Amino acid sequence: MEKFNPTRSGIPNPPKTVYVDPAVGVMIRLNSERLGISMREFVGQCVRFAIDNMVEDD
């Protein structure tokens, strides 16, 4: 598992550390490098996108 510190990701009250599957860590690193942003910022954007686009189950 790869360790990721999301403290300054822009997520309200984030956990101190998040563990992700190594394949997810590689995806995060490659995409953040491609976009020219930090891994922390990339994950923060992903989480904010997920929260903004959540659909309530009926």
10-42 confidence digits (pLDDT tens): 666 666 777 778 888 899 999 999 999 998 889
Q: Does 55 have pLDDT greater than 90?
A: no
Q: Specify the pLDDT at position 58.
A: 62
Regarding pTM above 0.75, the answer is no
pLDDT: is 12 or 47 the higher one?
47
43 CB neighbour count, 10 Å cutoff: 23
Q: Domain boundaries in the chain?
A: 20-58
Q: Which residues of 10-36 are buried (b: 16+ CB within 10 A; e: fewer)?
A: ebeebeeebeeeeeebeebeeebeeee
